[in-house]
C-alpha cells in the first residue's frame, strides 16, 4: 500500500478521501485539539482508516524539527490544505516570513521527505490577479524545492532566483486545476484549486490528464426545466416556473447545449439527503450519528440558505452570519431549516459512519474547512492509476 503523510489534517476530509483511494496514512499532523478529536474518534470507530498513534497533535514547525526521526523514508504522498495568507505584490517582504502562511512549511516537508507525489488544496481566490503572483511563486518553488530562501530575501527576489535556477536534484512537475465538487457527483457547489506534483523520476511525471467531470449542471437544468424528468423521478409536481436564479442560468445557455449533455446530473441536496429521516429539533437521532435538529433558521441579507433542488452552497467554517446561512436549506414552499451536522457531512461526501464529535460550532468549522471526501478520493485514485503506484 502506498504511504501517505497528511499535513493540516483538520477533520479528515482529504485524509479520508486519500484512504479511500488506497493510501495508508503514516502521519496525520494537526495542531488544533478539536479536529484532532475528530481524527481520534474515527480511528477508534474504524481502525482501518488510520492508527491513533499516527495522529500527531502538533504545530507543523515543531513536527518538522523531529522529522528525521519519524521513519518516513520513501513516503509516496504528502497531502493537505496549507493555510495561506494571500499576499499581493505590495506585501513582497512578508511572504514566507508571515506566521499565518503555512505553505513554506508544506514546501519544507516536500523538500525533506522527497515524496513521489504531493497534493495541496486551497481556495480558488488565490488565483485572483492580486494574489496570483504569490501563488505562482509557491508553484514554482514546489517544482524545485531545494532552492531555498536566503536570509532577508523577499519572496519576489527568491522567485526570480528560482526561475533562473537549474537543478539536477529534487524536482517535480507541478500541475494546477480548479475542481468543482459538484462536477464529481458531490452534492455541493464547492470550487477549490489543487496543486498536484509528480517527482520527475516517477512514471508519467511529464503529463497529468487532469480530473474530468463525471456530472453535469446542464443535465440537471435539462431534467428540471426542459424534460421535467427530475420532478417525475422524485414524485413531485413540476414547479410552475423556475426560481429567478435558475431561469437566468438557463437563458444564458443555448437549448441545444442543454439537450446534448450526456453526463449524469449534478446531485441536489434533496438527492444527497434522500434516505435520511427529517431531524427533530434538539434531539439526536437514534440511528444516525450527529443528526440533531437545530431550531431558529431564518433569512436575512447574506443568510438565505441553498435551494433544496440544487447542490448545496459551499459550506463555510462556522455557524454564524454568512457561514450559518450557507448551511441552511430553502425548501420549495419557502420554509427554511439548518442542515444538521450529519447532513453537512453528507454534502461533503463523508460516509455516515464517520463521526463528527464536539459542539456544533466545532463540527461545522471542521466540515467547512474540509476537502470534500469524494474529490480527494478521485484525485488520489487518478494519481495512482497515472503513476502506477
pLDDT tens digit string along 62-88? 999 999 888 899 999 999 999 876 554
Residue 338 belongs to some domain of the structure: no
Domain check: are 202 and 243 in the same one?
Answer: no
Q: What is the pLDDT of residue 177?
A: 97
Q: Is 22 exposed, middle or buried (0-12, 13-18, 19+ CB in 10 A)?
A: middle
Q: What pLDDT does residue 97 have? A: 54
Q: Is residue 97 part of a domain?
A: yes
Residue 120 lies in a domain: yes
- Position 253 scores a pLDDT of 61
What integer pLDDT is reported at residue 243 of this predicted model? 57
Report whether 17 contacts 348 (CB < 8 A). no
Residue-wise DSSP of 325-364: HHTEEE-TTS-EEEPPHHHHHHHTT--TT----S-HHHHH
56, 31 in Cβ contact below 8 A? no
| Residue 223 within a domain | yes
Euclidean distance between CA atoms 185 and 192, whole angstroms: 15
Dihedral of CA atoms 185, 186, 192, 196 in degrees, nearest 10, equals -60
Q: What is the pLDDT of residue 258?
A: 62
Residues 77 and 156 in one domain: yes
Same domain, 249 and 107: no
Percentage of the chain surpassing pLDDT 90? 73
Written as nine digits, the cell of 242 is 423556475
Burial zone of 357 (CB within 10 Å; 0-12 exposed, 13-18 middle, 19+ buried): middle
Shared domain check, 250 and 173: no
Which helix (H) or strand (E) segment holds residue 192: the answer is strand 191-199
Q: What range does the domain containing 143 cover?
A: 3-213+372-387
Report the alpha-carbon distance of residue 81 to residue 264 in Å, rounded. Answer: 29
DSSP string of 356-389?
A: --S-HHHHHHHHHHSPPHHHHHHHHHHHHHHHT-
Distance CA 136, CA 159 (A): 9
Same domain as 82, residue 10: yes
* Phi, psi (rounded to 5 degrees) for 135: -65, -35
Length of the chain: 389
Dist. CA 109–CA 60, nearest whole Å: 9
Looking at residue 158, which CATH number applies to its domain? 3.40.50.150
Residues 36 and 104 in one domain: yes
- Are 18 and 160 in the same domain? yes
Q: Are residues 150 and 8 in the same domain?
A: yes
Same domain, 193 and 261: no
The stretches in the chain having pLDDT less than 70 are 85-99, 240-260, 321-323
Angle at 365 between CA 361 and CA 366, to 5 degrees: 120
Regarding whether 146 and 13 lie in a shared domain, the answer is yes
- Asked if residue 53 belongs to a domain, the reply is yes
Backbone angles phi, psi at 87, to 5 degrees: -120, 130
CA torsion 23-114-83-269 (nearest 10°) is -20
Q: What is the pLDDT of residue 90?
A: 45
Give Cα 206 distance to the centre of its chain.
25
Q: Which residue has the cell 481566490?
A: 125
Which 3 state secondary structure label does DSSP give 141?
Answer: helix
Whether residue 182 sits in one domain with residue 41: yes
Number of domains forming the structure of the chain: 2
Q: Which of 250, 265, 280 is the last residue of a domain?
A: 265
Is residue 274 one of the residues assigned to a domain?
no
Report the alpha-carbon distance of residue 209 to residue 177 in Å, rounded: 10
> Which three cell numbers mark 162?
528560482
Same domain, 208 and 230: no
Asked if residue 305 belongs to a domain, the reply is no
Q: Residue 131: inside a domain, yes or no?
A: yes
Amino acid at each position: 500500500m502506498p504511504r501517505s503523510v497528511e499535513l493540516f489534517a483538520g477533520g479528515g476530509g482529504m485524509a479520508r478521501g486519500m484512504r479511500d483511494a488506497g493510501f495508508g496514512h503514516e502521519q496525520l499532523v494537526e495542531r488544533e485539539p478539536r479536529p484532532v478529536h475528530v481524527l481520534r474518534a474515527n480511528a477508534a470507530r474504524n481502525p482501518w482508516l488510520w492508527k491513533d498513534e499516527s495522529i500527531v497533535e502538533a504545530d507543523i514547525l515543531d513536527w518538522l524539527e523531529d522529522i528525521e526521526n519519524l521513519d518516513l523514508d520513501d513516503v509516496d504522498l504528502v497531502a493537505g490544505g496549507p493555510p495561506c495568507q494571500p499576499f499581493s505584490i505590495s506585501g513582497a517582504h512578508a511572504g514566507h516570513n508571515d506566521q499565518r502562511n503555512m505553505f513554506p512549511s508544506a514546501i519544507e516537508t516536500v523538500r525533506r521527505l522527497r515524496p513521489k507525489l504531493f497534493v495541496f488544496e486551497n481556495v480558488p481566490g488565490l488565483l485572483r490577479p492580486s494574489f496570483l503572483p504569490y501563488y505562482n511563486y509557491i508553484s514554482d518553488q514546489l517544482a524545485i524545492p531545494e532552492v531555498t530562501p536566503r536570509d532577508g530575501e523577499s519572496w519576489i527576489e527568491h522567485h526570480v532566483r528560482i526561475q533562473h535556477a537549474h537543478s539536477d536534484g529534487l524536482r517535480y512537475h507541478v500541475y494546477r486545476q480548479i475542481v468543482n465538487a459538484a462536477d464529481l457527483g458531490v452534492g455541493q457547489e464547492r470550487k477549490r484549486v489543487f496543486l498536484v506534483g509528480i517527482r520527475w523520476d516517477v512514471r508519467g511525471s511529464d503529463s497529468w490528464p487532469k480530473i474530468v467531470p463525471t456530472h453535469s449542471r446542464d443535465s440537471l437544468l435539462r431534467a428540471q426545466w426542459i424534460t421535467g424528468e427530475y420532478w417525475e423521478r422524485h414524485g413531485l409536481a413540476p414547479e410552475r416556473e423556475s426560481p429567478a436564479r435558475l431561469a437566468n442560468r438557463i437563458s444564458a445557455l443555448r437549448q441545444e447545449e442543454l439537450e446534448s449533455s450526456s453526463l449524469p446530473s449534478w446531485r441536489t441536496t434533496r438527492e444527497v439527503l434522500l434516505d435520511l429521516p427529517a431531524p427533530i429539533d434538539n434531539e439526536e437521532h437514534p440511528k444516525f450519528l450527529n443528526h440533531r435538529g437545530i431550531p431558529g433558521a431564518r433569512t436575512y441579507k447574506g443568510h438565505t440558505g441553498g435551494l433544496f433542488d440544487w447542490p448545496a452552497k459551499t459550506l463555510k467554517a462556522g455557524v454564524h452570519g454568512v457561514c450559518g446561512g450557507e448551511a441552511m436549506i430553502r425548501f420549495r414552499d419557502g420554509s427554511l431549516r439548518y442542515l444538521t451536522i450529519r447532513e453537512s457531512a453528507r454534502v461533503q461526501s463523508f460516509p455516515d459512519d464517520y463521526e463528527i464529535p464536539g459542539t456544533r460550532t466545532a463540527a461545522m468549522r471542521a466540515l467547512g474547512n474540509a476537502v470534500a471526501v469524494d474529490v480527494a478520493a478521485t484525485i488520489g485514485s487518478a494519481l495512482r492509476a497515472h503513476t502506477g503506484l
